[in-house]
């Protein structure tokens, strides 16, 4: 059964302040959310599906801090969405919010209204990064929120960012380690994109902030991704989606690429393959065979065969052979050398 999110954007609703990198009006391209939009989004999705019951449908409130929305408005949106769950048209609700907008009372309300998944904007667990990004919450708030969300039995998705002000690869890896330790089920990784009309855009113009290039973002995201993969945490998104209204005329820098997730996965496989070939010391003229699960083969070979070409350059005296193996699954890779 495939999973389909029915996205409802709640731009900036509920936000007590503005983080330096955030302009939700730019990201989502709209400024307010009404209950009618839930009707429109659900009915449109249902009308496009040949067999809706063959899919797991989830109404997804994205874009703002859902649980910090003024109470009456939040309840109206939840009730409208929950009506569709009660009628059996959709299966559940997911939402994203800030760590300091989670407490027992809120979680009880969410449980009563068929919310299944909570996405928490943790972004970083480093105090300097949180302060420089003007997040307005601490790592302790994130830890407490994660533990409480798990206590109540919700699915927990941790969202983290790369290249925030003061951030380093080490602080990003530590953020991922903390999120794993706090029990996240899934993760999203967002390299910072600099949007026009944000504090970060002003800092960038004054040369006080240096956005990551796409290549740097691929390298850093792949290191963080490896850590999640090693702990069997599924990464459900890397980088902002095009359909989030991201438009180049509203961005002034940062690592945005429409296929960033794919490029990061390619790099993840390349790094693993290079690390695993090294201790084998293949003899000249032998063939290095790299086996992966069939559905991971193209990611391992890389876009436009980029990984294959890099390996051929690194091992010019060998033949490189990628091969699908039905005995492997997930991200398993098997490497061996065949004498010619
Ligand atoms: S908490 Fe989220 S929505 Fe609110 S300002 Fe920060 S990034 Fe934007």
CA-proximal residue: ligand 1, atom 6 (nearest): 19
Cβ count within 10 A of residue 215: 12
Tell me, what's the pLDDT at 241?
A: 78
Which of 236, 229, 248 minimizes the C-alpha distance to 189?
Answer: 236
Closest by CA to 93, choosing from 1, 188, 5, 185, is: 5
CA proximity to 262, closest of 235, 244, 289: 235
**Angle between helix 71-87 and 35-48 (nearest 10):** 30
- Residue 15 CA: which ligand 1 atom is closest? 4
Burial class (CB in 10 A: 0-12, 13-18, 19+), 230: exposed
For 44, 49, 56, 128, the CA distances from 53, given in Å and listed in that order, are 15, 9, 7, 47
How many Cα atoms within 13 Å fall on the side-chain side of residue 196? 8
**Ligand 1 atom at minimum distance from 121 CA:** 2
Q: What is the pLDDT of residue 197?
A: 87
Q: Enumerate domains of the chain plus CATH numbers.
A: 2-258 (3.20.20.70), 277-338 (no CATH)
* Cα–Cα distance for residue pair 336/316, rounded to 1 Å: 17
Structure confidence at residue 286 (pLDDT): 97
Residue nearest to ligand 1 atom 3, measured at CA: 64
User: Is the CB of residue 75 less than 8 Å from the CB of residue 112?
Assistant: no
Q: 15 CA to middle of ligand 1, Å?
A: 6
Q: What are phi and psi of 177, to 5 degrees?
A: -60, -45
Our mutation pick for probing the ligand 1 site, out of 9, 16, 18, counting the most ligand atoms within 8 A of Cβ, is 18
Specify the pairing of strand 186-191 against strand 155-162. parallel
Indicate the pTM of the whole model: 0.93
Query: Ligand 1 centre and the CA of 64: distance in Å?
Result: 6
Distance 2 CA to ligand 1 centre (A): 30
Q: Is residue 26 helix, strand or coil?
A: helix
Strand partners, 72: none
- CB-based contacts of 294, cutoff 8 Å, min separation 6: 324, 325, 326
Residue nearest to ligand 1 atom 4, measured at CA: 15
| Residue 195 near residue 250 (C-beta atoms within 8 A) | yes
pLDDT for the residue 18: 80
Q: How far apart are CA 47 and CA 179, in angstroms?
A: 38
Residue 128 CB contacts under 8 Å (≥ 6 apart), including other chains:
166, 171
Ligand 1: residues with CB < 6 A are: 12, 15, 18-19, 22, 24, 64-65, 98, 121
Q: Ligand 1 atom 8: the closest Cα is on which residue?
A: 22
Q: Which atom of ligand 1 is nearest to the CA of 16?
A: 4
pLDDT (tens digit per residue) in 305-333: 999 999 999 999 999 999 999 999 999 99
Per the CB < 8 A criterion, the answer to whether 253 and 295 are in contact is no
* pLDDT < 70 positions in the chain: 12-14, 24-31, 242-249
DSSP 283: P
Tell me how far the alpha carbon of residue 133 lies from the centroid of ligand 1, in angstroms.
Answer: 10
């Amino acid at each position: 059964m495939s999973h389909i999110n029915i996205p409802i954007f709640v731009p900036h609703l509920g936000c007590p302040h503005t983080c330096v990198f955030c302009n939700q009006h730019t990201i989502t391209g709209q400024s307010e959310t009404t209950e009618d939009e839930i009707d429109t989004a659900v009915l449109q999705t249902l009308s496009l599906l040949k067999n809706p019951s063959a899919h797991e449908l989830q109404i997804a409130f994205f874009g703002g801090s859902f649980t910090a929305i003024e109470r009456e408005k939040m309840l109206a949106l939840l009730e409208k969405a929950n009506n569709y769950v009660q009628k059996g048209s959709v299966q559940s609700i997911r939402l994203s919010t800030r760590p300091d907008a989670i407490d027992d009372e809120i979680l009880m309300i969410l449980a009563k209204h068929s919310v299944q998944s909570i996405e928490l904007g943790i972004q970083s667990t480093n105090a300097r990064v949180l302060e420089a990004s003007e997040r307005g919450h601490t790592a302790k708030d994130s830890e407490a929120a994660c533990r409480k969300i798990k206590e109540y039995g919700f699915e927990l998705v941790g969202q983290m960012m790369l290249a925030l002000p003061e951030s380093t690869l080490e602080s990003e890896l530590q953020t991922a380690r903390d999120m794993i330790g706090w029990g996240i089920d899934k993760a999203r990784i967002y390299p910072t994109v600099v949007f026009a009309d944000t504090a970060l855009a002003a800092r960038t113009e004054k040369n006080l902030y240096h956005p990551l290039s796409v290549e740097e973002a691929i390298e850093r995201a792949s290191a963080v991704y490896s850590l999640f993969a090693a702990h069997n945490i599924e990464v459900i998104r890397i980088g902002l989606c095009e359909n989030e209204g991201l438009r180049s005329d509203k961005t002034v820098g940062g690592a945005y690429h429409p296929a960033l997730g794919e490029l990061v996965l390619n790099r993840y496989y390349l790094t693993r393959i290079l690390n695993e070939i090294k201790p084998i010391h293949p003899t000249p003229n032998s063939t290095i065979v790299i086996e992966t699960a069939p559905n991971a083969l193209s990611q391992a070979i890389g876009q436009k065969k980029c990984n294959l070409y890099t390996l051929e350059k690194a091992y010019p005296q060998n033949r490189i052979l990628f091969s699908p193996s039905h005995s492997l699954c997930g991200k398993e890779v098997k490497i061996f050398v065949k004498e010619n």
